[in-house]
Structure 1
Amino acid sequence: MNSRKKIPMRKCVATGEMRPKKELIRIVRSKEGEVSIDPTGKKSGRGAYLSKDKETVLLAKKRNILSKQLEANIEDSVYEELLDLIEKENGQI
């Protein structure tokens, strides 16, 4: 039997697109209410996925999407960290 490995799909909270999990960044709110970026995708807590795209992060910030999804206040530093991570992955630094 030839069975292909299943690729986990997740939905970007900003664009609504279904994409492979590896193409998205996970942002997590812990039980203590602390919001952080989860590059491994394995931290425990409430998670939301964003596309690895500068425009998507700016859209999420403008519309306050992460704050609504995670039910927590999102600091500007989280968005700055996301943008830095995207730039590093795209080799723009």
Structure 2
Amino acid sequence: MVEDSIDELLRWIVSVDRRVILMDYLKEHSIAKASDIAHQTNRSTQNISRALKEYEDRGIIECLTPEKTTWKRYVLTAYGKALIEKWKENNSDPF
């Protein structure tokens, strides 16, 4: 896991569209699944899966079903919840 400040993470998120899409999804949903997000946002499942992996590597989300290879479910960590609050404060446009 990479330990970044909230502001550094916000800059990292806005640098790639798939990360912004995932952040906006996580504002409204308590559980994230790649196929659901992809369907709702007209993105490929692979694109969203990559964003989920990036978020997991940064400690923003954690997998509830790590034993599965598909249909994984993710939730925000405490760090992720703090990030979401900062994202909301900045009206999804931190810069």
Question: Does TM, normalized by the shorter one, top 0.5?
Answer: no
Q: Which has the higher strand share?
A: 1
Q: Which has the higher helix share?
A: 2
Q: 1 or 2 for the larger relative contact order (CA 8 Å, sep ≥6)?
A: 2
Larger Rg: 1
